[in-house]
Every structure is written in C-alpha cells, then in structure tokens.
A and B are shown apart, each in its own frame.
Chain A
Amino acid sequence: MRTRVPGPLRRRQQGRLAGGVAAGLSARTGIRANVIRIAFVLTSLPGGFGAAVYVLAWLLIPAEGEQTNIASRALADRRGIALTAAVASALALLLLIASLLNVAWVGSLSWPPVIALAGLVLVWRNASPEEVALLRQLGEPLVARRGHGGRSMIRLRAAIAVVLLVTGTGLVVSAHVNSMLFRPLTGVTMLIAAIIVLLGPWWLRIARDLLAERQARIRAEERADMASRVHDSVLQTLALIQRRAADPQQVVSLARAQERELRSWLFDGRPPGSLDGLATTVADGIRVIQQEVEAQHGIVVEAISVGDCDLDSDLNALLAAAREATVNAAKWSGASSVSLFAEVEPDAVSVFVRDRGRGFDPDAVPADRKGLAESVRARMARRGGSATIRSTPGQGTEVVLTMPRNVVPGSASQREPSSAP
C-alpha cells in the first residue's frame, strides 16, 4: 500500500495485523506497512522498546472512523486502571527480583514490557468489540479457549509447558554459574519445547483452517464458474427457445446446438463460453464462435471452415477479432444471418465475416462502431495480420481478416492427407 492517504493519522482497519498502527503509518507516509512492522519488531528485540511504542500508539491514535482514542475512554475505566496497575506492579516486581538475582538478560527487559503489557490490558478492556475480538484471536494460543482438546488437555499442556519452562530457565540461568556447555543447550531446547507444546496445536489449527478455507474458496469459484457457464449456454438457450416458441425449426436448431455444446462440455470437458482452452484448432474455434453468437444473439451464423491447423497466439488473436466482427454483425447489421468463413492455407489463415444487413458508409461511421473497427484492426496489426472492412449502405458489410502463419516445416499441424492410401 504505497498510496498516501491525506488527513490525520488514524489506525487503519484495512490491511491491519493487530492494531492497524503500521497500516495507518504506511497510509500516512507512503512507506510499506511491512517495513514499518519489521522496524517495530527489530526495536522490540533488545528491550521491548518497539512493542511499548506500538501499544502506546494503539492507545493514543484513534481508529479510522472513531473520534476518540482508547486512552481517553480508558480514563473512565476505574477497574481497568486498577487491573493495569496490578499487572504492571506484578511485572515490575518480577523484574526487580530478576535484577536482584543478577540475571542480566531478564534485567534488560525493564520498563518497556511493563508499559506494553499494561497498555494491552487497557486496550483489551476499552477498544471496540471488533478490536477485542482481534486481540482475543491474537492471544488465543496462550489462553487456548477454543482448543479442540477440552479443558483437561489445556491444563495438561500448560503444566508440561510450565515444567519445561521452569527447568529450562533454571538451566539457562545456572549456566552462568557452572559455565558447563550442555546445560544451556538443554535449557534452550526445553524452552523451545515449551513453546511448541503451548503453541503447536494452535499453529496446526491455523494451518488446517487455512487449508479448509482455501478448499472452500476453490469450490465456491468452481460453482460460480459453473453457474456462469450454465447461464451463458443453457439458460440463454432456454430463454431464446421461449421467445421463439412459434418457430419449431429454430427451436429444434437451438436445442440441437445446445445439446451438442452440453455434451461436449460434460463428456469432452470443453467448457462453453470462452475460446480459451476449448478450441485447439481453427475449425474448432470457428464452431465455438458460431455456437456462441447464435446462442447469445439469436441470429443464424453460417459457419464454414476449410482446412484446419492448430491454434497459436496469433491465430487466437485472429479468432478473437473474427468473434468481435461476428458479434458486431449480429448486433448492428439487422440481418437474420451472418456468414463466417475461415480458410487455412499453407502460408496464411483468412476469415471472412459477411452480413447482408444495412451496411454503413465507412466515412460516416458513428464513433462507437469506428472504435470497434479500429480495435479489430489494431488487434490484427499487432500480430502482423491485416483487417479490411468493406461496407455499402443497404447491401451489407464484409470484414476480411488475414493472419500469416508461422509454419514449422514438416509439422503435422496441418491436417491434410499427404500420402496415397
């Protein structure tokens, strides 16, 4: 998020991890949110300084859309202040004892953690419900209120963790006295084990949730995709059939085309709708355009292809242009049918789209149609092809598209019998 948002500094809801402080700063300064987050973490490592600043910012900066900050609300919260004082004093006491015992690394954790913890208590008691929920989620590994194992499991885990923690800490501390190598190692291992015992199940659950969520999303996407395909094909056809109920011949041809499409979707796995992936050759692509335009615009497309070859990106562009020209004819010409003819020759592929509709004067084209003609032309030109549009008012229009082929010598892509049987 590099875009700078003007206005006063606010904690942002969008893209936040905890309080939205980093996201807010990022929006205000244009610095990446992750850079700010890393800075907070790095400054927290030595003595918890960064964490204290973060929590204070959380307390003092109002959230987006709120007028007051949490600190001003916390002033009215007597019990909260009392609790904060209790926690802070307990922690301060602990620190004091640690410094008395002359344990250097505990001593380095002096005031910032106290401030951070106390601040968090205030935030937790006074923030908006939504933020409390977020905080609870962040603190869940330690509280483990929604764990799968039930209360006794949590107690067991906590007990094991405490034992490991105490032993580990003891070993690390005593290492100073004994300066034996294996003891600090064992201690560190036990500390890590404690963390794993405490947090492991939570990590696992998060991984599982993520996986389940992703699968659900994939399923939802598939369903949406299916729905849009069914809509584009079957539902469109059913609507057309209702409108054309008086014309049995057309109803039959609509139904037949739809049946063919549905079969090729269900049994050959060719999805209706888009050209991508469902047509691998020029003739296939022409057939797809025919079915699509017939279904969507209720016009007869007389599609003919001579010769065939595999599609490459150039030929895909050719077909896209042909499709656009066909749709254009279906929409604007007023004719009841469009001729779509594709011919694959050894050195080029040509597509002709012709209608006998009202036609137009190329010099007096309305801007929207001209735009389309240009887009067809530009699309062809980018790939080294050409597009010619001939139109006479009252007699119809013909679009001629030609794309040179990148022929690989001796390739089997051109389907032509080349030897005697």
Chain B
Amino acid sequence: MTGSAAGANAAARPRVFIVDDHGLFRSGVRSELGDQVEVIGEADDVQPAIVGIADCEPDVVLLDVHLPGGGGQDVAAEITRSHPQVRFLALSASDAPEDVIAVIRAGARGYVTKTISGPELVDAIRRVAAGDAVFSPRLAGFVLDAFASVAPDQPVRPAFDPELDQLTPRERDVLRLIARGYTYKEIARELFISAKTVESHVSSVLRKLQLSTRHQLTRWAAERRLT
C-alpha cells in the first residue's frame, strides 16, 4: 500500500509546511531543520496557508498560534476537515493558554515553544508525523491547569463525562513529569513503565483535550484571559 510507504517515508524525512507571519522566523526554522526534514512550502497568513497546505499535502504543518488574519486554529480546523491526514504541530512564542488550547482543540497534535532547539524540533516533527502527541512542558502545565478544576468531591453535573472530562492519576503523573522537564524516556524510567505506555497516556490526554465538551475548558480559558 502506498499509505504505509508514505508513513515510513514520513518517519524518516517528513515533508513539512511552515506557517508563520515572520519571514525571519520561517527562514530560521528552515535552516535549523536542515536536511532532516523536507520543507515543501511556507505561508504567512491564514488564507495562503489553507490554499498552500491543500495544494501540497505535507505530513506536518508547523503552525504559528497567532496569525494576522486570525488564529492558527482556523487553519487547523479547515484543513483537518478537508485533509484529515495532515498533522499539525503548534509552534509559538505566545504564552496565552487559551490560544494554545484552542489550536489543540482545532486539531493540532502538539505544542512546542519557539525556544525549542533544532534537534528537539526535528524529533517533535517526527513524533507528530508518526501520529503521536507532542506535549511541551508548557502545554502539559496548561492542560493540568485546565483539568485541575474538577475536584473529586464536586457534584457531578449532567454534562460531565468522566471518560473525557477527567484525567486519570497516571495521566496526571505523566503530565507533571513533562512539566518538570522530563523526556518520555526519563518519565518511563521514573514511573517504571515503557516509553510506549507514556506515549499512549499522552495521546489519551490529547484525545480528551480535543473531545471534551466540558464547560470548564472554555471557562478556564476565559478566566485565564482575565488574569
């Protein structure tokens, strides 16, 4: 099948599309990625990005959270609908949690900050291309914060789905270690589990983050905006 061949290819040398409104930053990322990945296109705003991505169908889109013509989440939402196989990795210097969560909920499979080093970014791109979730320490913190708001003794509301609206203690442990700066390998060693299990925990958190209909997620974002 061509699909598996494309997947293997993606793991080796993923085809990447960069969306960022700063030309300087795009060329910086390009040079840092070097020949580890194949950069097949760039865009500096929402509309050109949607057109460009639909045109060249990359494996991974590096998506800036803030764009002049709207948020990165518009790009992710639009493309995920039309081209579900394209994966997004949010990349931002902005620290506003509500924006980051919005991009994740629009379909991005990870979030890293622009301070990330070249090799780490390549690694993150490979992971996203392989279908894994990439949680930077910051995203882990945001997610813990967003889900922390459900105290166990609180009355369960009708819309509350424990499957989706609550993190398991293990998932919490994993997120905490990510926030503390541990790599997946180190987390596995720390919790006496395999690296694969760590990845499945992270993916499960990502799923909850994207599918949960909890009011708290929006409410939390609104509160954060105020503070």
Contacts and interface: CB of A to CB of B under 8 A. Distances in A.
Interface residues of A, number: 28
Interface of A: 248-249, 252-253, 256, 300, 302, 304-307, 336-337, 339, 341, 343, 346, 352, 354-356, 398, 415-418, 420-421
B130 interface: no
A286 to B, nearest CB: 10
B33 to A, nearest CB: 14
Task: Identify the interface centre among A248, A306, A307, A418: most chain B CB within 10 Å of its CB.
Answer: A306
Contact of B137 (A256, A341, A421): A341
Contact of B148 (A300, A336, A416): A416
Q: Which 8 A-B pairs have the closest CB atoms?
A: A339-B181, A304-B141, A306-B144, A352-B180, A354-B181, A341-B179, A341-B180, A306-B145
A304 B216 CA distance: 20
Interface centre among B117, B180, B219 (most CB of A within 10 A): B180
12 contacts: A248-B28, A253-B115, A306-B179, A307-B145, A341-B180, A343-B179, A346-B151, A355-B181, A356-B181, A416-B151, A417-B219, A420-B215
A94 B7 CA distance: 120
Interface in B100-146: 113-115, 117, 137-138, 140-141, 144-145
B1 to A, nearest CB: 40
A337 B116 CA distance: 10
Contacts of B28: 248-249
A51 B154 CA distance: 82
A418 B151 contact: yes
Contacts, number: 73
Given A306-B148, A307-B145, A417-B220, 19 more contacts: A248-B24, A249-B25, A253-B93, A253-B115, A304-B138, A304-B179, A306-B145, A336-B117, A339-B179, A341-B141, A341-B179, A352-B179, A398-B180, A415-B223, A417-B149, A417-B216, A418-B149, A420-B157, A421-B219
A249 B31 CA distance: 13
A421 B113 CA distance: 32
Contacts of B25: 249
A222 to B, nearest CB: 30
A421 B179 contact: no
B176 interface: yes
A354 to B, nearest CB: 4
